[in-house]
Structure 1
Amino acid sequence: MDRLRAMAAFVAVTEAGSLSAAARALGEPLTNISRMLAQLEAHLGCALLHRSSRHLVITPAGSEYLETCRSVLESVAAAERRIAGQVDELSGDMAITAPVLFGRMFVVPLLARFLADYPRIDARLLLVDRVVEIAEEGIDIAVRIGELPDSALLATRVGSLRLVACAAPAYLERSGTPSMPSDLTRHDCVTFANLPGGTRWIFRSRRNGRKAVRVRSRLSVNTADAAVAAAIAGVGITRVLSYQAEEALKAGKLVPVLERFEDTAVPVHLVYGAARSSNARVRAFVKFAAGELRLLPETSSGKQARRKLSPS
């Protein structure tokens, strides 16, 4: 068995989602791909993939081995580039994921500048408002907003954002403006499922301390755009990251409330697998992005502000 070739086939199958798609991507007969996978599993003594007539599911052992395969293949490719005299110019593919709005506002222009500096690197950007399993989905680097759970992943903190509670002027005229977080129990609220806490909103400030309140969710949504739109329509008070409501706040379509209780820091990290930390492209992007992403809007009102984020 050509183990490197088998490793490459295994990686291709996980990224393509099927044996036939991997065979087309590699220009190999389907029987070759199937045979190499079987030989690799026999060599390891465990299943890497669960196969059915409709889809493939990577096993826990397969997920761990996938990172090893990518690292080994990248090391071999790097050695070949050095021998070929390309050590001074990074090249190859890189995959990044980020939340949709954050990605459009910050990662796309950042990535454009990075690619201009590294013309031999090609990138794939996946913008989704969910936590992506980076090993299973072939992602090199993920932008994560919020506290990170314990995991084997490595993370570089690039700063922090703020949460802002806000509502439409018409809603506040109709229902009154809360003066304390506890007042929110008497208000309609629009909750954003992708923010930590759900219907339990926690306010923190240096002067007023920590205030936790269980709000009434009149409407629950799964994207920040929907939460902001619902608040503008007068459904109730919402609480999102400041950049997500920035345009509506500047335009006066939303008004911030409870600002004196709100300087909650929400960390922003670049997350990547331990095996990817030795990848020269990943290291270059993390270093580049960590410097660039420290400049983000962190305003909790309609006033535009560009400032350094909290250092890691």
Structure 2
Amino acid sequence: MDKLHLMTVYVAVAEEEGFAAAARRLGMSPPAVTRAVAMLEAGLKVKLLNRSTRYVRVTEAGQRYLDDSRRIIAEVEAADEATAGINAEPRGHLTVTAPVMFGKMFVMPGIIDYLQRYPGMDVSAVFLDRIVNLLEEGVDVGVRIGELPDSSMKALRVGYIRRVLCASPAYLEKNTCPLTPQQLPGHSIISAGSMAPLVEWRFAKDEQPVAVKVKPRLTVSNNDAAIEACLAGLGISRLLSYQVETHFDSGQLVRLLPEFEPAPLPVHVVHRESRYASIKVRSFVDLVAHHLRDHLKIN
């Protein structure tokens, strides 16, 4: 089997951290992906991946081979483009979407860097707190938080974020700090997004799911408002870790029940190109992925 193909399959498995996800990304069957990686390891006589029923992770040797494989694949694609007469400098227009606060905090720095590097490009940034259909709405690249449904889109995982509970020190001075999720219904709850009279918050303990229904005292339509209410000492809210990380660091907010937090949410950069992305899309995805990986760590 072609070595470049095996490298491509291996890169997909390593980046997706799973064989099934890599198979979806490549349009292959999971058994074919498994055989390709096994063939690569057998030929190299080196173990590239540690496998378990819960995860797939690269070994130390696998990480080195992953870096080299990415470089080789990029060089081959660049050579193909050059031979086809495609200008190596990205030119044209790109439309990018992301959630509002996430886009402002993490995607905009990447967009600015991209525009400064490539003067022949211009970008439309569409920051919305809803899922944008890339194909129907003419968007080239999107940043998605959460598990992705099966899709023909290409996706690159760039990190993780957590769902966290928080409250201000002032609120906790006046109220007993909850020790379990079951104690939350006795507290003043601030809910962001859902307008339902009762909201179900899901947690986990020792990998066992825990669900608690709470009645919000305040319901707001956006996360900024929920954060302001928390800072003012009104109650407890549930937000995403990146939205309140600076407030945790400054001591303005306190993280509650970290031992009950559910599994972290993956963050992906997705695009609607077919097997090989255009140079303007690929160059943007590579750059913004680098920016995001520098910031998205599990805390």
CA distance in 2: counterparts of 1:108 and 1:168, whole angstroms: 29
Please state if 1:161 is matched with 2:161: yes
CA distance in 2: counterparts of 1:164 and 1:270, whole angstroms: 23
What is the CA distance between 1:173 and its match in structure 2?
2.4
Counterpart in the other structure of 1:280: 279
Please state if 1:240 is matched with 2:229: no
Residues 276 and 122 of structure 1, relative CA distance in 2, 3 Å threshold: farther
Counterpart in the other structure of 1:94: 94
What is the CA distance between 1:151 and its match in structure 2?
3.7
Counterpart in the other structure of 1:258: 257
Counterpart in the other structure of 1:177: 177
Across the aligned residues of Structure 1 and Structure 2, the Cα RMSD in angstroms comes to: 2.6
- Give secondary structure in 2 for the equivalent of 1:264: coil
What is the CA distance between 1:274 and its match in structure 2?
4.2
Q: In the TM superposition, what whole-angstrom CA distance separates every residue of 1:128-178 from its partner, at most 9, and x where no partner exists?
A: 222222223221011111122344433221111112101122222223110
CA distance in 2: counterparts of 1:290 and 1:85, whole angstroms: 27
The TM-score normalised by the length of structure 2 is 0.64
What is the CA distance between 1:202 and its match in structure 2?
1.8
Gaps of 5+ in 2: 1-80
Opposite residue 238 of structure 2, the aligned amino acid is R
Q: Is the 8 A contact 1:187 1:216 kept in 2?
A: no
Residues 299 and 233 of structure 1, relative CA distance in 2, 3 Å threshold: farther
- Give secondary structure in 1 for the equivalent of 2:281: helix
CA distance in 1: counterparts of 2:138 and 2:238, whole angstroms: 32
Opposite residue 187 of structure 1, the aligned amino acid is H
What is the CA distance between 1:86 and its match in structure 2?
5.5
What is the CA distance between 1:241 and its match in structure 2?
1.0
Counterpart in the other structure of 1:119: 119
CA distance in 1: counterparts of 2:207 and 2:166, whole angstroms: 19
CA distance in 1: counterparts of 2:149 and 2:207, whole angstroms: 27
- Tell me which structure has the larger Cα radius of gyration: 1
Q: Is the 8 A contact 1:203 1:211 kept in 2?
A: yes
- Give secondary structure in 2 for the equivalent of 1:245: helix
Residues 298 and 178 of structure 1, relative CA distance in 2, 3 Å threshold: farther
Opposite residue 234 of structure 1, the aligned amino acid is G
The TM-score normalised by the length of structure 1 is 0.62
CA distance in 1: counterparts of 2:83 and 2:149, whole angstroms: 41
Gaps of 5+ in 1: 1-80, 301-312
What is the CA distance between 1:276 and its match in structure 2?
8.7
Q: In the TM superposition, what whole-angstrom CA distance separates every residue of 1:38-97 from its partner, at most 9, and x where no partner exists?
A: xxxxxxxxxxxxxxxxxxxxxxxxxxxxxxxxxxxxxxxxxxx97996622221110101
Opposite residue 182 of structure 2, the aligned amino acid is S
Residues 276 and 180 of structure 1, relative CA distance in 2, 3 Å threshold: same
Q: Is the 8 A contact 1:168 1:255 kept in 2?
A: yes
